[in-house]
Every structure is written in C-alpha cells, then in structure tokens.
Chain A
Amino acid sequence: MSEPTPRVAPPVGGSDRGRRLDAATAAAGPLLDVRRLRKYFPIRRGLLRRLVGHVRAVDDVSFDLRPGETLSLVGESGCGKTTTARCILRAITPTSGEILFRGGGGEVVDVATLPKRRLRPLRRQMQMIFQDPFSSLNPRKTLLDIVGEPLLVNRVGDRHQREERVAELLRLVGLRPEYMRRFPHAFSGGQRQRIGIARALALNPSLVVADEPVSALDVSVQAQILNLMLDLQSELGLTYLFVAHDLSVVKHVSDRVAVMYVGRIAEIADTDRLFATPRHPYTEALLSAVPKPDPRLRSQRIVLEGDVADAANPPPGCYFNPRCSYAADICRTETPRLEAIAPGHLVACHRARELTLRGVAV
C-alpha cells in the first residue's frame, strides 16, 4: 500500500500540488461503488405498533469513490447524508442496494449484505472520524489506550510494538508522543480531534469517513484540522468520504461534491464545477444562502420559503418542487432521475438543461 508507484496529477484543483494519486489503483476502478442504496426506517403507531409508513432516509442513492479522492456529501439536516455514511460503514444495515468495496487484496465485497462475522476484517480498512471530539473519547482512558485500542482489538503487535505505533501516530497528527500517558481532558478541542484522527488511522485504513469533523471546533482551529486532513491524504493516499453541512469547509477539501435533499442526490459534480455552475435549483439556493465574510458582498440572497420536505411524507414529483421558484407542471407530478448533463456532472432536475443558475465566483 505504501509502495512507491508512478504519480499522476490530481484530477481537479491543482492547488494542492503535493497530493499524489495512485495511477495503478485508479485504473483498477473505484474503491467504493454505492448502487441504488436505500434505508427506510419504519414508523409504527398505536398499541400494536402497527406499521403506518416509512421514513425514506436514504432513497435510491448511487455514487462511486475513486482511490485517493475526497467526495463530500452535503445537505441540510435530515437529507440522509449521515445515514448514507453509516450504511457504508455498516453501522446500520441498508434496506436495499449495493455497497461494493474493494479491499486491500483487490477483492470486491458487498458491504450491504456481508455477514456480521466477515465485517471485522473489513472495518480495519474503513474508519470513521467523528464530529464531537469531546464525547467521542473515553475520559477514563489514556491516549495510549484510545489510539491503541483498534490495534489491541485486532490483535496487532505486542505491547511494545503497539506503543511504538501509537507514538508514530501521534507524531503523524502533530501531537507529542510524550502525551501518550495523559487523559483526553488535558487537551483542547482541536487536539482531541487530532487524537480521534490518530485512532482512525491506527490500522492503515484505505477509506476514512469523516462526519462533520470540524463543525464542533472553534474557527481558528478548524483550519488546522482541515490542513492536517489534506496533508494526511497526500502522505498516506487516503480516500475520504466527507459528510458536512458547511459548504465553505467542503470547498476546501473536496474533489467532488454530492448535494443531497430528502434522501436523494440532487446533484453531483467536480467541486469547482458545482460551485461555479450549479445546475440544480436547490444547489443554487444552498450556495446563495451561505453568508459570505465580506460586507461588500451583502447579497441578493435567494431565500427559500418553507421547510425541508418530510421524508415520511414527501410531496409528489420532485421533492424540492414546493420550494423551487423554477418549478413547472412536470415537477409536481414526476420524480426526476439523476442524469448526466456533462461528463461527471449529474443532476436530478427536469429543467436542468434549460435553466441558467447562479454559482459562486472565486
């Protein structure tokens, strides 16, 4: 995995020149291929807990993830981004669909249907970074226990080797190895998030799922963690699935972005394309709603009316149609399919080809 291989230029955004994508693995296909993923949660009511309906938390979601890239899932609360991520890690079992993951040996497994006993070796290759660095670390354990836990659980190395590995990991995330015997309370939010990252990297995963990794941190510390994640990616060739609601953060880390709305993907494209020339009215509204840190740009903001649709009882047609200022008759009756409008740019909107929408200038 860490063998030197021929390097190719990153696919988009040449701004992080240090990054290396592995040409050989890229040619072998995606690291992760999610196909028609669904996760419905039953709604039960009454004394007999009768089934009265379903919350369609994730409803027919498909995307792939190439080795070494960062794909962000963005959207507002209840859009299904976190549920999608949890399905991929098999923290919850999907209702239907496939999650094809290519393991270290090149074999492809379907995470969605894998029997429980075969999950553990797989989980060494997919790890998670959590949102809240305060509640995700056990306060009674030292850094050595916390970061070394995945090694212990998976019976990697002896005591001495584990200690060495923890020291190496701490150094990797910018913490002093001497801190190994300390408890998490001695550390700030940013340092705790570094500890969480060190733990996630302990078993050399190929896929790291980061769920809102900086949203609980102070602004001045967010940048440190985002930079660290970019550095680790180029150093270790990691593939990130980044779940976030903050589009500014997403722009700083992603190669591609998928915008979700009520359990479905509304639009997916390369980051610069999606921000500069969005093709879905929801993406346009989302970009426009982000407050820009410049008083001279006080905007003619697009303010959407109403609330996000109810995933238990979505409107007919396109789920976004009640809030969409471009909605036509067809939008109220037919659900749009996610279709390519340009290579690598997919949109689920009946009017995508005729609309000119406003993006964000760089």
Chain B
Amino acid sequence: MSGNQSLTPILSVRDLKTYFFAEEGTVKAVDGASFDLHAGRTLGIVGESGCGKSVTARSILRIVERPGRIVSGEILLRRPANDGQREETVDVARLDPESREMRRIRGGEIGLVFQEPMTSFSPVHTVGNQMVETIRLHLGVDAAQARERAIGLLRQVGIPKPERRVDEYAFQMSGGLRQRAMIATALACGPRVLLADEPTTALDVTTQAQILDLLRHLQAREGMAIVLITHNLGVVAEMCDEVVVMYLGRVVERGPVDAIFHAPRHPYTQALLRSIPSIQAQVRTKLPTISGSIPHPHNRPPGCPFHPRCVEWIRGTCERHEPELLPVDGENRVAVSCFLHHPPRVSGAIPAGAQAGA
C-alpha cells in the first residue's frame, strides 16, 4: 500500500463544471477541468482573467457564490479514515457547503491563502484571536493551548517577536507580514493540501521572493501538497512541479513544468510564453503578441474557445467542434486540448479516464 501512496493523488478533480446562471445567460466559468495533486508536490494553475482558475479553487473549497454552482464533476479528496488505518475518498463536490464535514475540510484538511491578506483578516479582531478561533474550531483545544500554538506558528513562518505580534491587528502589519500571518493561519490545523490563490500578487518583488521561499521551505518540512493559482508564469516556473494552463474555463494543456515551458504544445501556451516580458530579453525589443483580447464570458466563441486568436486554427474544425483534453504521450504526463494534436472524431480512442488507473 505504501509503495502506491506516492502515485495516488491526494486530490483529483474530474471533469469539474461550475457555471454561473445570470439573467444575461449562463457563464461557464469552469467547463470540464481535470487534474491530480500529489503529496509533497506543487501544482500550478495558470491563466489570465476569466480563465476559471479562481473559480476552480473556490469550487474545491465549496465557497462558490451565487448564482454560481457546481453543475457536474468530482472533487475527490483522499485522506486517512477515522480509524487511522485505511484510506478513504470523499467527493467534496457532493458535500453540502454548509455541513460540518465541509467545514472540517475547509481550513482543516485544505488550508487557504488568498491574494489580499488585508481583506481576509477581520479589522476588529487581532490576528492572534482569529488564529485561536480557527485552531479551536478544528483541533478542539482550550484557549491557552490554542494561543501557544498560534505563537508557535507565527514563529515558524518567520514573524519576528511572535509573542507581541500575536496581539496586533492585521492593519498594523506590513503586506509581507500579513501574508506570513495568513500562511500561519492556513497551517494552523496541519493541512495536507494548501490552496494558494495569487498569494504574492499584491506583494513587492523582494517580499514575493520571501513568501515563495517560505512556502517551499514549509512544503519540504510538512510534506503538504500545494495548489498555486497565479497569472505569473515566472512564479509558476520557480515553484511548480506540474502545471495546468486554463483558458476561458477549460484546461488547454497540462503537464510537468519543464514540458510546459520548454515544449509547449497548445498554441495558447506557446503564444503566452512568447508574449511575456522577460528580464532576460534584449533591451527595448518588441514582443510577439497574441492578437485580440480575451472574449467577454457572455460571448464565448463556439468550438475551441481560443480559435479566434489562434494563428494555427483549422477552418471548418476549430470553430465547430470542442477539443477534448487528451494525452499526447504514452504515459499521460502531458495532455493537450487541441485539434492540431488530436483530429476530431478519432478522439474517443484514448479515454480520458486512463489516468485514473492506479
């Protein structure tokens, strides 16, 4: 059993669809996302605005706001059963968002780090009180023990003088310290999965380097799996083992980080990598661009959502059929959703479920 453990993902998302039902029409914010997350590894979900990366995260935590809801798909969380011996699998997508069970998972088994720690902390309670509350809710210890644990966690994430900082309010801290406090709160209950949604986007670059370092360090020690949601390809390249690239609610490409950056297959991934400003570029050079802009979610193009901006689109195919995410190598390490790699109709040959086999 233990030999298989590393191969069995902690979290498997299967064909997740989260739609928003508005008066103007339905927005398919996430439209069939599938990926696996393994213990001790970092999965990057990358994409631009409207690609569905944040809604994917909110779906996993079951905090999608109305009028949005999960329409179909599975979010399988594997964890030790209550007896501590066996493993069990829960489908988070089927739980009641308000249930005790879900509350135990959210903030307990899955820790959260958001972009803006200022809005995530309450302005009227000290950081310590908020941590104590979380710790008591999940671990059932008394207030004094919880406070001790909170101080210990603040020390772990590199906050100087934690005994004093624990009684400060979030607004008294700098952006970097606030994000550290947020990470400490996320770690409070020893989560096996850490979900970080743009954790460094609001930070300065030297502070970002500190926080990324901290995450790596904590992962090495605690062995937790990290889902890193970001638009910053530099952060992905530095941090992730596996990468999921999303565009307008769909996974367009998935694979190991080196394959994504050095042998991207999807025209969108290729174009995105070419168009990002690089610190290693020649001075004052023009960048290759992707034409057009991301369509409004209500005007989602038919067929492949990227085809109107794609330089290689196949007339008669890409605007008519929706490509499926299918493996391009034998081991199913790299998968692409593009007709350049999988001509339509033949596509049923390799079932998407092939990866589920243990």
Interface residues of A, Cβ cutoff 8 Å to B: 10, 12-13, 15-16, 19, 70, 76-77, 188-191, 218-224, 226-227, 230, 245-249, 251-255, 271-272, 275, 285-299, 301-305, 307-308, 360-362
Contacts and interface: CB of A to CB of B under 8 A. Distances in A.
Nearest to B277: A248
Contacts of A249: 277
Interface stretch (B24-32, B99-107, B209-217): B209-217
A303 B283 contact: no
Interface stretch (B113-121, B137-145, B267-275): B267-275
Contact of A360 (B277, B280, B296): B280
B4 interface: no
Contacts of A290: 205, 234, 279
Given A291-B238, A307-B174, A245 B258 contact: no
Interface in B288-307: 288-290, 293-294, 296
Given A15-B284, A251-B281, A254-B284, A219 B204 contact: no
Contacts of A245: 204-205
Instruction: Count chain B CB atoms within 10 A of each CB in A13, A227, A251, A296 and give the residue with the most.
Output: A251
Contacts of A287: 279
Given A13-B282, A289-B208, A296-B262, 17 more contacts: A77-B204, A188-B294, A188-B296, A191-B293, A218-B48, A218-B293, A246-B277, A248-B234, A251-B277, A252-B284, A291-B212, A291-B235, A291-B237, A292-B278, A293-B276, A307-B177, A308-B204
Nearest to A14: B284
A236 to B, nearest CB: 16
B49 A12 contact: no
What 9 A-B pairs have minimum CB-CB distances, sorted nearest first?
A291-B234, A13-B283, A76-B204, A223-B287, A289-B209, A188-B293, A248-B277, A218-B48, A13-B284
A335 B204 CA distance: 24
Interface residues of B, number: 50
Contacts of A360: 279-280
B213 to A, nearest CB: 5
Contacts of A246: 277
Instruction: Count chain A CB atoms within 10 A of each CB in B240, B262, B285 and give the residue with the most.
Output: B285
A235 to B, nearest CB: 14
B283 A254 contact: yes
Contacts, number: 177
28 contacts: A70-B284, A76-B204, A76-B205, A77-B204, A189-B293, A190-B293, A218-B49, A219-B233, A220-B275, A220-B294, A226-B277, A226-B286, A227-B286, A227-B287, A246-B277, A248-B234, A251-B277, A251-B279, A253-B284, A254-B283, A291-B212, A293-B237, A293-B278, A302-B209, A303-B213, A304-B209, A307-B177, A362-B281
A362 B280 contact: yes
A16 B286 CA distance: 8
B147 interface: no
Given A16-B284, A286-B205, A248 B293 contact: no
Given A218-B231, A220-B289, A295 B208 contact: no
B275 A301 contact: no
Contacts of A292: 234, 237-238, 278-280
Instruction: Count chain B CB atoms within 10 A of each CB in A16, A19, A302 and give the residue with the most.
Output: A16
Given A223-B275, A290-B234, A295-B261, A230 B286 contact: yes
A320 B245 CA distance: 39
A312 B299 CA distance: 50
A219 B236 CA distance: 14
